[in-house]
Amino acid sequence: MWVQRALRIEAPLRGVHPTTREVLGTLPDLARTRIGMLNVFIRRTSAALSRIGDARPGVRRDLDAWPDDAVREDSPYWTHVVEGPDDIPAHVKAVIVGRSPLIPVSAGRPALGTWQGIYLLEHRDHGSARDVMLTAWGEAA
């Protein structure tokens, strides 16, 4: 069984945003998968997707703060600055975090850890809508 669906996440502000609910709502077919895989791919280069846990209140804040500190917007060596000071740093942050988590599927659900979920990490101050391609495959229940 193969299933592919597109998901659009409307322009979030900079930060770490839970998206597990949107992913599952877009892929009701996943419930029929006994065992398989789910690929969640963002089709933009200045935001990222990750599988993280946020059981503690500061996790999302820290996951937003570290990339901003590690990849400074005011670095003098940036040359791609036409789209604003947050553009190329957002691309670099997305490369570091990654764009395409691959998640096992078990008994019709992503086999995430107890506190884990799928999150969009928006690295721009005012990101545009983010298009995500969801591809699931596996053995039907």
pLDDT tens-digit readout, 23-74: 999 999 999 999 999 999 999 899 999 998 877 878 888 988 888 899 999 9
pLDDT digits (tens, 9 = 90+) for 78-99: 999 889 999 999 999 999 988 8
Cα–Cα separations (whole angstroms), residue 108 to 20, 33, 37, 50, 116 = 14, 5, 10, 20, 16
Domain count, the chain: 1
pLDDT value at residue 11: 74
- DSSP-assigned beta bridge partners for residue 9: 130
Measured distance CA(50)–CA(103) in Å, rounded: 10
* Whether 18 contacts 121, CB under 8 Å: no
pLDDT value at residue 140: 93
DSSP per residue, 50-83: EEEE--STTHHHHHHHHHHHHS-TT-TT----TT
Whether the full predicted model's pTM is greater than 0.85, yes or no, is yes
Domain span at 41 = 2-140
The candidate with the shortest Cα–Cα distance to 47, out of 74, 13, 24, 78, is: 13
pLDDT value at residue 34: 96
**CATH number of residue 12's parent domain:** 2.60.120.460
